[in-house]
Amino acid sequence: MRLARGAHRVRVAGFRFAGVRAGFKERGPDVALIVAEAPAVAAGVFTLNRAPAAPVRVARRRVAGGRLAAVLVHAGSANACTGAEGLRTAEVSTAQAARLLGCHPAEVAPCATGRIGVQVDRPRLLRGVRLAVAALSPDGLPAAAQAITTTDAFPKTAVRRLRLGGRPVTVAALGKGGGMIAPQMATLLVFVVTDARVAAAAARRTLRDAVAPTLNAITVDGDTSTNDTVLLLAGGAAGNRTVTARSPDHLRLTRAVTEVLGEIARLVVLDGEGSTRVVEIVVRGARSSADARRVARAMGDSMLCKAAFHGGDPNWGRFVMAAGNAGVPIDQTRVDVTIGGVAVARRGRPLPGALGRARRRMRAREVTIALDLHLGRGEGRILAADLSVAYVRFNAEYTT
Amino acid sequence: MRLARGAHRVRVAGFRFAGVRAGFKERGPDVALIVAEAPAVAAGVFTLNRAPAAPVRVARRRVAGGRLAAVLVHAGSANACTGAEGLRTAEVSTAQAARLLGCHPAEVAPCATGRIGVQVDRPRLLRGVRLAVAALSPDGLPAAAQAITTTDAFPKTAVRRLRLGGRPVTVAALGKGGGMIAPQMATLLVFVVTDARVAAAAARRTLRDAVAPTLNAITVDGDTSTNDTVLLLAGGAAGNRTVTARSPDHLRLTRAVTEVLGEIARLVVLDGEGSTRVVEIVVRGARSSADARRVARAMGDSMLCKAAFHGGDPNWGRFVMAAGNAGVPIDQTRVDVTIGGVAVARRGRPLPGALGRARRRMRAREVTIALDLHLGRGEGRILAADLSVAYVRFNAEYTT
């Protein structure tokens, strides 16, 4: 597994970053600030959980305006299940940031991750905002990436450089652990910043297209957080001709954003709570791509499949069982199963003698499990973490 | 927890039972036979998994005829993911039972539980059939209940006696572990036998109504097996006036069947793989009962909630998170949460000082968690097992 630490030395023209300690976490920085020189074109993707956290509700509204000057993040207290007081916390803290930065409050997006069901210590957060504004630096991206982590074992960053309209452009991303992977710690948070000049509609399309095959195709524990937030900020300091939707430059930009989000997604699964194995599940031959994705997700979310991943057990019957529970048509007499390139079942029946080789492949740090349903041309994939004893320990022994 | 071992001494007039060892499991009896004196009125409910096992496919067809003379069960090899050869095994083995019993093959329902993805040793099964027919006895119910278990810690039986039309009637049930709880061991199997005389339509309605709030309202690990089968056999030896749909006797019979299935359901969760705690989740105030059941199930299936159950952690924010992922409308500003009778959140906000008492309640062997959504009058409930380290160990360390 390649750890994408490249962004640790990266600047993105027109952006400053900070990561400071306010005291929400037991140790380390826990308030991050991302600031654009001038309000950047912005696009966002948010949790589908029907109980979204206060910062999500505020940020969603503000991103809809199409411009953001800053993103304020605190880690250790998710501001979820906090009612009207939580909304007020999000508004007050971003208002203070706006005042100190000289921008409009509606241009500051709040994000949070951490415990849910407790009120945020507001004076602590306001102190963090002051410290963060004072610490802003073009070289602050690594500090910000560190500050947004909770129980992540390492900060997650990725970077791509490309040329758009002849001008060099940087696309950088910082993210934190996915799923509700940690004790009361909710949240996948990912921020993509680029100096490219991009039209608002193109930015929205880029983010939507890039999230679908990357961050929306992973699962650690199947629980969608109340706080998931992905933001793209395009500042425009690169001076390229504005990227418009469906242009060749737009395709290039979308590819770069998809690549950085793909790296973050992979790192999130690798660093999933208790995760010991990354399993790529590929489903082919479904009636549609949507069907294929549902089957892949059913396998990736099944506790029994995840336990088999953990044990390195080529238990293909469980995979077919999970596929049978995906709610889409399958014909078990047509299903082929391949584990790490070893065919273990064809047309729904076991292939004698294959399990020994498949078991060795299953025990790798990363393995691909492929199902061909032979019903059509739909294809989908997902990256899944395994289910380990450490996951249960961590999430059971933690107490509120 | 009351262990319903009452049926161990029970006879059901007109039925004989056997449990014998053929050698599918490492130890103990593993082939069971339930035989009605004359073909009994029969009703069945089967897995919704889209990859149903061969016995399910055969039994479903045969139950549709409305009459069964016998049920043949083997444990240790599920005959799932076995293709045409698996279907042939189900047909050949039930044909042999029919020949030895002197009934029609279409009146014998096959059931199986155990490893999936391997072919059943057919000569072994046929030997088991011969032994079982030879061992049939009116007192064989406990042996049959033992024979259908796989990794169950104890056999599961329940019995009710009631009067229908002035005649004493017995309703007895035998069942085995629910969910795909064991290493490759699929299956919830439950058989209800009664000497009541019941019309076919009434029997079907009784079973459907009794399964919904009992066996269809439990979850061990969220994985629906390929082999789930529930059968009701009504022999009629009690000599009561035939129970017809919607009659007062029908209500009484349905209540008795619901009670025995409720006991089996509770025992199945109690004996879920690695289970240490039974959590009753009650959702009230949903827009509909279907919504309430979906919310309850989302909570019962959430890995993070199940880990919190295991840790005895009154982590109500996780419960709201899971409710928010159920795919039905909720308004977090209206949600009340109660744990073991202790109110921990009202209108979506934490109630200070309640967690200590709630934690003590959470640590009981059985606890009720109640959500009131305050959106309507819909109510639903589910019994859920927790997620323990033992579950992961058991299902990960087992290898194919």
Q: What string of DSSP letters covers A94-135?
A: HHHHHHHHTS-GGGEEEEEEEESSS---HHHHHHHHHHHHHH
Are the beta carbons of B51 and A82 separated by less than 8 Å?
no
Q: Does A390 touch chain B (CB under 8 A)?
A: no
Which residues of A are less than 8 Å from B48 in CB distance?
325
pLDDT at A288: 95
Task: Give the 3-state secondary structure of residue A79.
Answer: coil
pLDDT at B224: 67
pLDDT confidence of A221, banded at 50, 70, 90? low
What is the sign of the dihedral through the CA atoms of A59, A62, A65 and A71? negative
> Full-prediction pTM beyond 0.90?
no
Catalytic annotation, residues of A: 187
What is the chain A residue with the closest CA to B182?
A: A304
What is the chain A residue with the closest CA to B332?
A: A51
**CA-angle at A348, arms to A343 and A353, nearest 5°:** 40
Cα separation, B1 vs B4, whole angstroms: 9
Task: Tell me the pLDDT of chain B averaged across its residues.
Answer: 86
Q: Does A323 touch chain B (CB under 8 A)?
A: yes
Eight-class DSSP state of A332: G
Task: Give the 3-state secondary structure of residue B165.
Answer: coil
What is the chain A residue with the closest CA to B302?
A: A223
Question: What is the interface pTM, i.e. ipTM, of the complex?
Answer: 0.76
Are the beta carbons of A325 and B50 separated by less than 8 Å?
yes
pLDDT confidence of B225, banded at 50, 70, 90? low
Other residues' Cβ atoms within 10 Å of the Cβ of residue A142: 18
Are the beta carbons of B350 and A186 separated by less than 8 Å?
no
Interface of B with A in 103-122 (CB under 8 A): 115-119
pLDDT digit string, tens, across residues B72-108: 999 998 898 888 999 999 999 999 999 999 999 999 9
Are the beta carbons of A324 and B396 separated by less than 8 Å?
no
Block residue for tokens 């339930």:
B34
Best interface-test mutation with A: which of B392, B393, B394, B397 has the largest number of A CBs within 10 A?
Answer: B392
Catalytic residue among B47, B149, B170, B187: B187
pLDDT digit string, tens, across residues B301-349: 888 899 999 999 998 988 998 898 888 998 988 999 999 999 999 998 8
Under 8 Å CB pairs connecting chains A and B tally to 239
Structure tokens at A297: 């997700």
Residues 6 or more apart in contact with residue B26 via CB below 8 angstroms: none
Residue A155 CA: distances (Å) to CA of A5, A20, A88, A152, B107: 8, 15, 29, 7, 64
Cα separation, B277 vs B367, whole angstroms: 8
Other residues' Cβ atoms within 10 Å of the Cβ of residue A346: 16
**CA-angle at B123, arms to B121 and B127, nearest 5°:** 115
How do beta strands B342-346 and B229-234 pair? Answer: unpaired
Residue A195 CA: distances (Å) to CA of A175, A179, B18, B251: 18, 29, 76, 72
For the ranges B2-6, B105-109, B230-234, B395-399, the lowest mean pLDDT is seen at: B2-6
Cα separation, B40 vs A306, whole angstroms: 42
Cα separation, B229 vs A111, whole angstroms: 48
Residue B182 CA: distances (Å) to CA of B152, B262, B330: 9, 22, 35
Q: Does B286 touch chain A (CB under 8 A)?
A: no
Question: How many CA atoms are closer than 13 Å to the CA of A398, on its beta-carbon side?
Answer: 21
Are the beta carbons of A399 and B359 separated by less than 8 Å?
yes
Cα separation, A84 vs A92, whole angstroms: 12
- Least Cα separation, residue B285 to chain A (angstroms): 16
Q: Does A356 touch chain B (CB under 8 A)?
A: no
pLDDT at A19: 97
**B81, B186, B223 ranked by CB distance to A332: nearest:** B81
What is the chain A residue with the closest CA to B387?
A: A392
- Least Cα separation, residue A68 to chain B (angstroms): 28
Interface of A with B in 159-218 (CB under 8 A): 180, 184, 186
Q: Does A282 touch chain B (CB under 8 A)?
A: no
Q: Which residue has the higher pLDDT, A198 or A100?
A: A100
**CA-angle at A267, arms to A265 and A273, nearest 5°:** 100
pLDDT digit string, tens, across residues B235-285: 888 888 998 988 999 888 998 888 887 887 788 778 777 888 999 999 999
Which residues of A are less than 8 Å from B119 in CB distance?
350
How do beta strands B366-372 and B278-286 pair? Answer: parallel
B399 pLDDT more than 90: no
pLDDT digit string, tens, across residues B348-380: 888 888 989 999 999 999 999 999 999 999 999
pLDDT confidence of A6, banded at 50, 70, 90? very low
Helix axes of A316-324 and A303-311: crossing angle, nearest 10 degrees = 160
Task: Give the 3-state secondary structure of residue B81.
Answer: coil
Q: Does A395 touch chain B (CB under 8 A)?
A: yes
Structure tokens at B23: 């050698």
A178 pLDDT more than 60: no
% of chain A exceeding 70 in pLDDT: 92
A264 pLDDT more than 90: no
For the ranges A56-60, A151-155, A241-245, the lowest mean pLDDT is seen at: A151-155
At residue A394, φ and ψ (nearest 5 deg) are -60, -45
pLDDT at B324: 85
Residues in chain B, overall count: 400
Structure tokens at A40: 């950047």
Block residue for tokens 């009690």:
B238
